[in-house]
Amino acid sequence: MTAPLDVGIIGAGRVGTALARLALAAGHRVHVANRGDRATNELLLTATAPGAVASDIAGLADRTGLVVLAVPFTVALGLPLDRLDGALVVDATNHWEPTEGPLGPAPDGTSALLAAAHPDLRWAKSLNHLGYHDMEDDARPAGTVDRRAVAVASDHVVTVVADFVDRIGFEPVDAGPLGNGVLVQPGSAVFGTFHTRSTLRAALAEDARFRPHPERATARAARA
């Protein structure tokens, strides 16, 4: 594992604050950006994630090494994410058609849409396929038998995100390139289902849409 990070979280709802608590417990320094003024956010965090620091989106770019996007997908579309200035962003959003309306064509998933809108950021899809209540209930130390697995889909930043996932209590699984994020969205076989490392890998591989990341797949084959 790497040293603790300064972690940014956008969103102070149930998912954002659950992740903030897990990150704090893992020894990370946590900065949370949310709608509303800083004083209101500070009061909210005092109650829901003691130890987290209120910030804004621009402040996260200056202070953090990794930013988790923990808001509804349509909210994320309207955020000034360009202010993150090349940050590594973990997309934990989901699109819910009953409340957010039809999505339209997105064969590579919603993270690919965000990445296309903000190509200067480094994107990963992760932490979206388990509920906020599962995050704290199922987190376990590394080495625990049958630890819950969490997918990490990204074109280039799997190692950093996987280490973060590991530190907060889950078994990270390389899910291939960012476009494979569609395999862990609502409606997929993986979404909302408890998986260990082996069963998650099998479930992803069984989906006809699964595409391995060429370079990482070659590297794993060479180590085998």
Cα(29)–Cα(152) distance, integer angstroms: 22
pLDDT at position 157 is: 75
How confident is residue 148, by pLDDT bands cut at 50, 70 and 90? very high
Q: What is the pLDDT of residues 86-125, one digit of tens each?
A: 899 999 999 988 888 887 888 888 999 999 999 999 999 9
pLDDT at position 24 is: 98
How is residue 65 written in tokens? 């090494």
Is there a contact between 44 and 34 (Cβ–Cβ < 8 Å)? yes
Q: Quote the Cα angle for 99-102-107, to 5°.
A: 125
Residue 126 is given by DSSP the state: E
pLDDT at position 129 is: 98
Q: What is the pTM of this model?
A: 0.93
Q: What is the pLDDT of residues 152-192, one digit of tens each?
A: 999 987 899 999 999 999 999 999 999 999 999 999 999 99
For the cut 80, the answer to whether the pLDDT of residue 216 exceeds it is no
User: What number of other Cβ atoms are within 10 A of residue 219's Cβ?
Assistant: 11
How confident is residue 217, by pLDDT bands cut at 50, 70 and 90? low
Coil, helix or strand at residue 54? strand
Residue 88 is given by DSSP the state: E
